[in-house]
Amino acid sequence: MNYLASVGSYAIMIREVFKKPTKWRIMKSLIFKEIDELIFSSLGIIIFISFFIGAVVAIQTALNLTNPLIPRNLIGFATRQSVILEFAPTFVSIIMAGKVGSYITSSIGTMRVTEQIDALEVMGVNSLNYLVFPKIIAMLFYPFAIAISMYVGIFGGWMAGVFGGFLTSEDFITGLQSDFVPFHIAYAFVKTLIFAFVIATIPSFHGFYMRGGALEVGKASTTAFVWTSVAIIILNYILTQLLLG
């Protein structure tokens, strides 16, 4: 029953976010600030993780190719498919649910605890629009971060494959180019956009409606991470079934 009530409250929150917009002059600066906080400040960790996961995918594939009849260029193919279809859009989104999500929940939750949200409401500001809308718009730039993740992941696979002595650069590139389905890129970006909305809104919901003090801010951040991850995993399944199934 509580879960149903939460889903209802979440839907009401989303409706409120798009009501009574804040002045564009102010909103513009909030959006730029959020792009910096949510996207640019995450690029370092995204690049770091993408590089090494891409590398590990290539090594794992290479080590499992024991049959001499299977061409070595399959390593490039497997790396590309893994990174583009799942690793970059889904795995990185779960990482971002932790990094960006906890930042969103704790910043909004702290504003709730210190009555800053009450102060906005007393002034007649639509606090949900003021706080959550810029985050949603900023997260529209998330696919750019995922595009970087795809590139770096594949590059990591190439480095590990070639410099680890598992295959030649030509083999890797041949594998990379074989059986390429452009729709897979569209599928990855559709997923990414939906995950971006989830990453912006579920942590905002947990921060905005939290009650209590500093301890509860911490608990709300953890809960937000858990539910954002659950939503990403379930949506990943549904979207894969709908778009590729």
Binding site for another protein (CB under 8 A): 20, 22-23, 25-26, 110, 114-116, 118-119, 121-125
| Nearer to another protein (CB atom), residue 20 or residue 230 | 20
Query: Which residues, 6 or more positions from 232, have their beta carbon under 8 angstroms from its beta carbon?
Result: 90, 93, 94, 97, 195, 198, 199
Burial of 216 (0-12, 13-18, 19+ CB in 10 A): middle
| Nearer to another protein (CB atom), residue 20 or residue 48 | 20
| Nearer to another protein (CB atom), residue 3 or residue 24 | 24
Smallest gap from residue 81 Cβ to another protein (A): 43
Distance in angstroms (rounded) separating the CA atoms of residues 205 and 14: 9
Distance in angstroms (rounded) separating the CA atoms of residues 73 and 64: 13
Smallest gap from residue 131 Cβ to another protein (A): 11
Smallest gap from residue 114 Cβ to another protein (A): 6
Smallest gap from residue 66 Cβ to another protein (A): 57
Q: Note the helical H segments in 23-114.
A: 24-34, 43-64, 74-81, 92-113
| Nearer to another protein (CB atom), residue 68 or residue 211 | 211
